[in-house]
Amino acid sequence: MSSKRRRTTFLLLSLLIVAAMVVNACGGGDTEPEAAEAPQEEAAPAAAEAETTDEDSKEAMMDVDLSPTEYPEPQLIVGSREVQKLPLDQILTYKALDSYSEPDWVSELVAEGALPPVEERLPVEPRVILESGMADGIGVYGGVWRDFSACPTEGYNRGAGQSAGWFGIEAAAFASLLKSGPIYRRSDSLEPLPYLAKSWEWSEDGFELTMNLIEGAKWSDGHPFTTEDVLFTWEDMIVDSNVQSPKGASAWVFDGEMTQLEVIDDYTFKFVYPVAFPVQSLFQMDEGDFHLSPAHILKPLHPKYNSEMDYVDFEAAMPPDQTPVVLGEFVPVEYITDELMILRRNPYYWGVDEAGNQLPYLDEVVFEKGPSGVGRTLSTLAGSADHSNLENPSTFIETLKRAEEDDAHFYVEWGPETLGFSIKLNLSTSLGVKDDRDTAIRQLFRDVRFRKALSFALDRDGISQSILRGPFLRGWAGGLFPGSSYFDRSTVAYHNNNPEAAAALLADLGFEDTDGDGILNWPADRLASGENLVLALVTSEDAEETQTVGDAAVTLLGDLGVQINVRPLNSAARREMNEAGEWELRVDRDSQTFAVPFTRCRELAPIEREFSFHREGSEPRELLDFEQELVDIALAFCVEPDTDVRRDLMAEYNRISTENVHFVGVFVGRYGLAAAKRFKNVPAGMPVFMYNWTWENVMPEQVWVDPAEQIDQLRPGVIPTYESE
Ligand code: CA
C-alpha cells in the first residue's frame, strides 16, 4: 500500500506538472475545456424493489445510509487572506479632480517640452482608483516589477493575432473596453469592471447595448482614443475574416445572426444584437477578446485601405523591435529577442489615484525571457523575479520552504479552489456503441445508482493527501468549483468515501459475484452473458495526475469487485476517442467553466452537440430528465442580466448536478501566488487565475513600492518615444 501510494504521488505530481505546462503554452491562456455533465434518471427506487432476493443483501441495503454528507468548509491555508469584496463604487470611479501630479522626472520632461502637461495628457474625467479599495493605500512613485515570459514576442499587432509574449505582457501593455480580471473583488455584481468604456446601458428590450467611452483618453503617442478606434477594431479586425483576431466575428453571432456595431459620436457607440440580453457578450469586450487597435497607426497599413499591403504584411505591422502605440499602463520600449523586454510607464495612461497622482506608480516592468514556464518559479526562488503563479503542486513545498526563510523577498498566498480533476461517464446511448456490452454499460452509467456508487467508492481526502500532503488539495463533489463566485456550499450533495453505500448500490443494481472470482458479475437482465463487470478508464498521458486518479480508482473500485482497466492516451488520441464516443470512463482536468460559468455558460450542460461527455452523433441525443433541467437552467443563465437571479440559477444547477452525480468530482486545489514582499496594494486573496491571470487581476497601476525598498531601474528617465511624431 505504501509503495502504491508513493507511486501514486509521483504520478500525480508529474501529471500536475504537465498540466501546468499546458496552461503555460504560448498558444494562449486557455486550458482545455472539458465540461461535465451527467444526469441520472430516477433516483434509485429503493433497493427492495430489485430482483435481489438475497435476504442478507436486502438487510444490508436497509441498514446502509445512502444519503450524501455535508460538504466541508475549506481548510484555510496559513498565510492566506480572504478576498475583501467591495462594491464597484468603493474600488474605482470616473471623475475630474482639482489637480493632478506625476513623477518629478516626468515633470522635468514636460518642462523640457518633451511632453504636454499632465492635465492635458489625462482625460476629462480620468479613471480614479479609490483609496477605499486599496490594500495599502495611496502609493508613491518609482520602483520596478521584474517578471518572466516563456513565450516569444511575435509583435504587437495583437488584434491580428500576434502574441506580445504572454505572461502578463499583454495585460501590462494593452487595454480593453472592459476588464474581467478583478471581478473577484466585486461584491455588487459579477460583471466585468469598466475600463476604457466607463459605463453601459441596455435598452429596455435588451437588443441594444450602448457603450460610453472615457472622454479624452489618449494612446501612448498622444493621439486621441475615440470610437474611430472602436469602429476600426470592429470592422477591419474582428469582422474582417482575413484578420486572425483573437476572437472573430463568430463570437458575435447569435441565433445565426451577426451583431451590428453603430457609432453614435466620438465617445458613444452601441451594439445591436439579434437576441435580447446576450449579457455574456460583456465578457467578449475584455482583454484578449475585443482588442482595441490604433486606427491612426494600423488603418493606413490595412490591405482594405492600402493596396501595397497584404494581410501577412499587415499582421507584422507592429514589429517587436519598434515601440508600439498602446493604451495600457506600461509600454514596451526595448526588446532583446529571447533575453528581455523592458516596459516603461505610459505617460498618457488615463488613470489616477484619489489624490490626483497619475498612475501607474511603478516606473518600469522587466520581463526576462526563458524557454519554459518553470523558469518563472526558479527565477522567483532565486530572487531575480518578483512574481510566479504556482500551478504545479510539485513546486509548492519547495517554494513555501523558500518563502519562509528570513531573507526571502517574496511571500506565497493561495487563491480560490479552482484546480479540479474529475471522472466522467459516457452518457450517450448511441455514439460509440458497438455491441450489447456497450449498450449495457451506457444504461448502467445513466442510472443514478451507479454514478452514486462510483462516487461513494472514492476516498477523496486519501487521494488528495497521496498527491500532496497538507491543506492544498481536498475532495470535490463535482458541479461548480468551490472557488467559484457562484458556489454555494449548501447546495452540494457529497457522496464521498462510503464503500458500504457503494456496495449496497451495486447490489441493488443486481451485481453479484456469481462465480466467486472476486469480481462482480452482470445480472442477466442487464447483460445476458453475465460476465464480470470490467470498465475501461481513460487517463491522459499529458496530465499525469489523471493517471494517479486512475490508479486510485483501480484500487478503491477493485475492493468493491469492480475491475477498472486504466488506459493512458495522448491528447490527440483522446480527442479522437471523444469525437467517436468510444470511451467508457475518463479522468479529466476540468476547465474553468466550473469557476467562471457565466463566461462559458453553454458548456455547463449538453447544449452544443459536442458536449463533453454526452456528445451527439448521427442519432438524436437522449437527455436524461435532470440533464434537460441543467440545459434549461444554463440557457436561462446565459441571458440573465440580474446577478442575483444568476446566483439562484447556479445554486439550482449545482444542487441538481451533485444530487444526480452528473459527473464524479475527485479533488480540487488552489493556484498559489508568489509575489515580492515589497509590493504594496496587491489585493488580499487575489487569485492568480480566475476570470483572467495575475497581471489582469492585480490592477498593476495601483501597485507601489516604498522608496527604501525600490530596486534600480534599468532605464531610468526613459519614456516611450515615436519616430513619426
Ligand atoms: Ca465474478
Q: What are phi and psi of 334, to 5 degrees?
A: -155, 135
CA–centroid distance, 521 to ligand 1, in Å, is 5
The answer on 245 and 296 residing in a single domain is yes
pLDDT reported for residue 599: 85
Which of the pair, 318 or 82, is modelled with greater confidence? 318
How close is the Cα of 254 to the center of ligand 1, in Å? 53
Predicted local distance difference test score (pLDDT) of residue 80: 76
Integer Cα distance of 481 and 667 in angstroms: 10
What does the pLDDT look like over 84-97, one tens digit per residue? 999 999 999 999 99
> Residue 62: its pLDDT value, please?
65
Has residue 404 been placed in a domain?
A: no
Q: Is the pLDDT of residue 426 over 50?
A: yes
Closest CA to 226 of 163, 321, 174, 292: 292
Residues 367 and 435 in one domain: no
- Please say whether the dihedral angle defined by the alpha carbons of residues 160, 164, 167 and 170, taken in this order, is positive or negative: negative
CA distances from 391 to 15, 194, 340, 374, 583 (A): 11, 29, 23, 10, 29
**pLDDT at position 36 over 70:** no
236 Cα–ligand 1 center, Å: 66
Listed in order, strand segments (DSSP E) in 187-328 are 193-194, 197-202, 208-213, 253-254, 257-258, 260-265, 268-272
> Does 692 lie in the same domain as 554?
no
Q: Work out the pLDDT band at 76, boundaries 50, 70, 90.
A: confident
Quote the CA–CA distance of 11 and 548 in Å, as a whole number: 5
CATH number of residue 539's parent domain:
3.10.105.10
pLDDT of residue 201: 97
Which tens digit of pLDDT belongs to each residue from 213-272?
999 999 999 999 999 999 999 999 999 999 999 888 888 999 889 999 999 999 999 999
Q: How does DSSP classify residue 392?
A: -
Q: Evaluate if residue 43 carries a pLDDT over 50.
A: no
By the 8 A CB rule, do 660 and 39 touch? yes
CA–centroid distance, 662 to ligand 1, in Å, is 28
Is residue 723 a part of any domain in this protein? no
* Same domain assignment for residues 44 and 113: no
Pair 689, 649 in one domain: no
| pLDDT of the residue at 3 | 43
pLDDT band at 595 (very low <50, low <70, confident <90, very high): very high
Q: Which of 89, 40, 93, 243 is nearest to 160 (CA)?
A: 243
Query: Is the pLDDT reported for residue 45 higher than 70?
Result: no
Residue 308's pLDDT is what?
97
Residue 415 to residue 83: CA distance in whole angstroms:
9
CA distance 521 to 529: 9
Q: Pseudo-torsion of CA 479, 485, 488, 491, nearest 10°? A: -30
pLDDT digits over 696-705, tens only?
A: 999 999 999 9
Tell me the β-bridge partners of 404.
none
The residue range of the domain holding 301 is 88-386+678-709
Residue 209, SS3 per DSSP: strand
Q: Decide if 539 contacts 584 (C-beta within 8 A).
A: no
**pLDDT band for position 58 (cuts 50, 70, 90):** low
CA of 466 to the centre of ligand 1 (A): 30
- Measured in Å, residue 4 CA sits from the centre of ligand 1 at 25
More confident residue, 690 or 682: 682
Do 461 and 380 lie in a common domain? no
Rounded to the nearest whole angstrom, what is the distance from the C-alpha of residue 519 to the centroid of ligand 1?
4
pLDDT for the residue numbered 641:
87
What is the Å distance from ligand 1's center to 548 Cα? 26
**C-alpha cell recorded at residue 666:** 475527485
Evaluate whether residue 239 is within a structural domain. yes
CA of 564 to the centre of ligand 1 (A): 14
Q: How far is the CA of 524 from the centre of ligand 1 (A)?
A: 13
Residue 556, H or E segment: helix 544-558
- Do residues 349 and 283 share a domain? yes
Last residue within a domain, chosen from 646, 670, 694 = 670
Quote the ligand 1 centre to 523 CA distance (angstroms).
Answer: 11
Q: How far is residue 692's CA from residue 699's CA, in Å, rounded to a whole number?
A: 12
Locate 475 and state its grid cell.
Answer: 475532495
Distance 533 CA to ligand 1 centre (A): 8
Q: Do residues 295 and 315 both lie within one domain?
A: yes
Q: Can you count the helices (H) and strands (E) in the chain?
A: 19, 24
- Last residue in a domain, options 622, 639, 670: 670
Q: How far is the CA of 532 from the centre of ligand 1 (A)?
A: 5
Which own/partner contact pairs does 18-24 have at CB distance under 8 Å and 24+ positions apart?
18/542, 18/543, 18/544, 19/391, 19/392, 19/542, 19/543, 19/545, 19/589, 20/373, 20/391, 20/392, 21/372, 21/373, 22/542, 22/543, 23/373, 23/391, 23/689, 24/150, 24/372, 24/373, 24/391
Over the Cα atoms of the chain, what is R_g? 27
Cis, peptide link before residue 360, omega less than 30° from 0? yes
Distance, in Å, from the CA atom of 290 to the CA atom of 209, rounded to the nearest integer, reads: 15
d(CA 347, CA 102): 9
From 204-218, 296-310, 385-399, the region with the lowest mean pLDDT: 385-399
> E strands of 509-643, at which residues?
534-540, 563-569, 585-589
265 and 363 assigned to the same domain: yes
- Chain Cα centroid distance, residue 474: 19
What does residue 691 show for φ and ψ, rounded to 5 degrees?
A: -75, -25
Mean of pLDDT values over 319-331? 97
State the cell numbers at 407. 531573507
What is the bridge-based pairing of β-strands 268-272 and 260-265?
Answer: antiparallel
Q: Is the predicted pLDDT of residue 562 greater than 80, yes or no?
A: yes
Please tell me the total count of domains within the chain: 2
The better pLDDT of the pair 78, 52 is held by: 78
Look at residue 136 in the predicted model and tell me its pLDDT.
Answer: 97
pLDDT at residue 55, rounded to an integer: 52
Does residue 183 sit within a domain? yes
Domain-embedded: residue 81: no
Q: How far is the CA of 530 from the centre of ligand 1 (A)?
A: 9
Q: Are residues 320 and 468 in the same domain?
A: no
> What is the predicted pLDDT for the residue at 96?
98
- Could you tell me the distance, in angstroms and rounded to a whole number, from the CA of residue 55 to the centre of ligand 1? 20
Mean pLDDT within 18-47: 36
Report if residue 719 sits inside a domain: no
Domain co-membership, 457 together with 477: yes
Cα 99 to ligand 1 centroid, rounded to whole Å: 82
Q: What is the pLDDT of residue 61?
A: 62
**Distance from residue 194's CA to the centre of ligand 1 (Å):** 62
Task: Pinpoint the alpha helices (H) of 65-195.
Answer: 104-111, 118-121, 169-173
> 7 to each of 18, 155, 227, 536, 587, how far by Cα in Å?
17, 44, 59, 21, 18
Q: Please report the pLDDT score of residue 63 as a whole number.
A: 80
Per-residue confidence (pLDDT) for residue 219, from 0 to 100: 98
Residue 544 has pLDDT above 80, yes or no: no
* Dist. CA 516 → ligand 1 center (Å): 5
Mean pLDDT for 51-58 is: 48
Residues 331 and 173 sit within 8 Å (Cβ to Cβ) = yes
Taking the centre of ligand 1 as the mean of its atom positions, its distance from the CA of residue 507, in whole angstroms, is 13
- Contact partners, residue 673, CB within 8 Å, separation at least 6: 387, 388, 389, 390, 412, 413, 414, 415, 682, 686, 687, 688, 694
Cell (9 digits) for 199: 459605463
pLDDT at 723: 79
User: What is residue 254's three-state secondary structure?
Assistant: strand
Cα–ligand 1 centroid distance for 404 (angstroms) = 54
Q: What is the mean pLDDT of residues 453-460?
A: 98
* Residue 180 falls inside a structural domain: yes
Q: How far apart are CA 147 and CA 170, in angstroms?
A: 13
Instruction: To the nearest 10°, report the CA torsion of 217, 723, 228, 198.
Output: -20
Query: 42 CA to middle of ligand 1, Å?
Result: 28
C-alpha cell belonging to residue 246: 483573437
Ligand 1 centroid to 522 CA: how many Å?
Answer: 9
pLDDT for the residue 571:
81
What residues does 413 pair with on adjacent strands?
Answer: 673
The pLDDT of residue 24 is above 60: no
Distance 317 CA to ligand 1 centre (A): 68
For residue 282, the tally of other CB atoms under 10 A from its CB is 21
Are 671 and 390 a contacting pair, CB within 8 Å?
yes
Residue whose cell numbers read 482536468? 589
Reduce the secondary structure of 1-45 to three states and give it as a string: CHHHHHHHHHHHHHHHHHHHHHHHCCCCCCCCCCCCCCCCCCCCC
* Domain assignment present for 15: no
Name residue 564's amino acid.
I
Contact between 690 and 697 (Cβ < 8 Å)? yes
- Which segment of 180-194, 305-319, 391-405 scores lowest on mean pLDDT? 391-405
Q: What's the mean pLDDT in 489-518? A: 98
Both 367 and 303 in a single domain? Answer: yes
pLDDT digits (tens, 9 = 90+) for 283-294: 999 988 899 999
Cα angle: 487, vertex 453, 1; to 5 degrees: 95
User: Between the CA of residue 132 and those of 84, 88, 136, 354, 682, what are the distances in Å?
Assistant: 11, 11, 10, 10, 14
In the chain, pLDDT over 70 holds for what percent of residues?
A: 90
CATH code, domain carrying 214: 3.40.190.10
Position 28 scores a pLDDT of: 42
Task: Please give the Cα distance from 248 to 251 (Å, whole number).
Answer: 6
| 10 vs 646, more confident | 646
Lowest mean pLDDT among 261-265, 390-394, 497-501, 707-711: 390-394
Give residue-wise pLDDT tens across range 510-519. 999 999 999 9
Three-state DSSP at 225 gives coil
Average pLDDT (452-467) is 94
Q: What is the pLDDT of residues 399-421, one digit of tens each?
A: 989 999 999 999 999 888 998 99
User: What is the spatial distance between Cα 302 and Cα 298, in angstroms, rounded to a whole number?
Assistant: 6
Residue 372 has a pLDDT of 81
How far is the centre of ligand 1, averaged over its atoms, from the C-alpha of 8 (Å)?
A: 27
